């Protein structure tokens, strides 16, 4: 078991520029079922992907692959033609919020937006548009979602993952890689790793993911990786305290970040004395979450939370 994505996930790609094409190729190489692409002016064409798999992905899926991905002019038509149940968005920032809304209008239940740099006002509107629709947005400005050896959607390197017991949820890309690699090396592996993104307005949040992992029988423990800015980690800590039945470990980046400065991610900013790492770590610790003192200790913190001796 896992959450959000598995071998039944059929994925559309919106945005076939250099980035979108590259990561569609690595997703296919991993064994992800990519079913179609959406491009307004290239409808009717096909995009060809071929190569060797990296053998880190879905077992037995493909050795060498040759995939002719049909291109449709809209998400609605692509979904109708292919039965896609997920979409990944690599559309450039000025058009990405619209791409999210288009996917929601077409009823795609899982919308994963990788794009970084979407105007905040666009995301406020897109999120309003999504409010009453039965869809889930992950991101934007995130690495994506992966269930090891089943389905990889996004820009994360597949080979560092390994099927296993831990659910990972994170606001940061490379810190997630750091974490899953430690979980792979210490043998715990991952059920699913979810990047929820570094923007101030995003779709799926920590609590949504904690709930999913709590309900997933295969997930035995959770690692949540947060950073300065906002109060999502504090809200998550409250939720863990009240509802979580599984051990949780965590890490917070940005203890030394100066106030009032955006630390790379649009959402990583301490403003008006709020959103500090110290407050977040305190809230998480109070909720019984084992907080790793440094990123190198994230795997060990999960071990500790689960009561395992290394």
Partner 1 sequence: MKIHEYQAKELMKARGISVPMGRVATTVDEAVAAVRPLIEESGNPVVVVKSQIHAGGRGKGRFKEHPDLGGVNVVLDGIEGGPRAAEDAVRSLAGKMLGSTLVTIQTGPAGKKVNRLYIEQGIDIDRELYVSTLLDRASSRNILLVSTEGGTEIEEVAAHTPEKILKAEIDPAIGLADFQASELAHGLGLEGGAFKNAVKFMKSLTVAAVEWDADMIEINPLVVTKGGDVMALDGKVSFDSSAIYRHPDIAAMRDESEEDPAELEAAEHGLSFIKLDGTIGCMVNGAGLAMSTMDIIKVFGAEPANFLDVGGGATADKVTAAFKIITRDPNVKGIFVNIFGGIMKCDTIAEGVIEAVRQVGLEVPLVVRLEGTNVELGKQILDQSGLNVVSAADMKDGAQKIVELTS
Distance CA 49, CA 30 (A): 13
The Cα–Cα gap between 290 and 12 comes to 38
With CB under 8 A as the contact rule, the residue among 20, 200, 221, 247 that binds partner 1 is: 200
Residue 121 φ then ψ, to 5°: -60, -35
Q: Which of 67, 201, 223, 236 binds partner 1 (CB under 8 A)?
A: 201
- How near is the Cβ of 299 to partner 1 at its closest, in Å? 11
Buried b / exposed e across 52-85, counting CB within 10 Å, b at 16+?
Answer: ebeebbbeebbeeeebebebbebbbebbeebebb
Applying CB under 8 A, the span of 41-49, 59-67, 102-110, 266-274 interacting with partner 1 comes to 266-274
Spatial distance between the Cα atoms of 84 and 35, rounded to a whole number of angstroms: 7
- Contact region for partner 1 (CB under 8 A) — 43-51, 78-86, 241-249, 253-261? 253-261
Segment near partner 1 (CB under 8 A); pick from 31-39, 116-124, 214-222, 241-249 = 116-124
> How far is the C-alpha of 3 from the C-alpha of 219, rounded, in Å?
9
Verify binding: residue 231, partner 1, rule CB under 8 A. yes
293 is a contact residue toward partner 1 (CB under 8 A): yes
Question: How far is residue 167's CA from residue 213's CA, in Å, rounded to a whole number?
Answer: 6
Alpha-carbon distance of 278 to 287, in angstroms, equals: 14
65 or 159: CB nearest partner 1 = 159
Residues forming the site for partner 1 (CB under 8 A): 93-94, 117-125, 127-128, 155-157, 159-160, 170-178, 181, 198, 200-201, 225, 227-232, 235, 251, 253-258, 260-261, 263-268, 272-273, 277, 293-297
């Amino acid at each position: 078991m896992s959450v959000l994505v598995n071998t039944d996930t059929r994925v559309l790609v919106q945005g076939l520029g250099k980035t979108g094409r590259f990561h569609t190729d690595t997703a296919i190489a991993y064994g992800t079922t990519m079913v179609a692409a959406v491009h307004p002016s290239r409808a009717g064409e096909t995009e060809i992907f071929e190569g060797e798999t990296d053998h880190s992905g879905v077992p037995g899926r493909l050795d060498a692959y040759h995939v002719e991905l049909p291109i449709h002019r809209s998400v609605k038509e692509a979904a109708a033609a292919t039965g896609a149940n997920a979409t990944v968005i690599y559309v450039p920032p000025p058009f990405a919020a619209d791409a999210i809304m288009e996917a929601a209008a077409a009823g795609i239940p899982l919308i994963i937006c990788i794009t970084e740099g979407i105007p905040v006002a666009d995301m406020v509107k897109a999120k309003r548009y999504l409010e009453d629709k039965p869809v889930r947005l992950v991101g934007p400005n995130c690495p994506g979602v992966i269930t090891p050896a089943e389905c990889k959607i996004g820009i994360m390197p597949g080979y560092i993952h390994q099927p296993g017991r831990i659910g990972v949820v994170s606001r940061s890309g490379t810190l997630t890689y750091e974490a899953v690699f430690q979980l792979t090396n210490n043998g715990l592996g991952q059920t699913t790793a979810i990047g929820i993104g570094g923007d101030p307005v995003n779709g799926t949040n920590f609590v949504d993911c904690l709930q999913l992992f709590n309900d997933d029988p295969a997930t035995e423990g959770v690692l949540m990786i947060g950073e300065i800015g906002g109060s999502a980690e504090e809200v998550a800590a409250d939720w863990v305290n009240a509802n979580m039945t599984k051990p949780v470990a965590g890490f917070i980046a940005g203890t030394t970040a100066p106030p009032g400065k955006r630390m790379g991610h649009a959402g990583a900013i301490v403003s008006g004395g709020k959103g500090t790492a110290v407050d977040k770590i305190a809230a998480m610790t109070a909720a019984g979450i084992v907080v790793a003192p440094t990123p190198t200790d994230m795997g060990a913190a999960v071990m500790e939370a689960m009561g395992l001796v290394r």
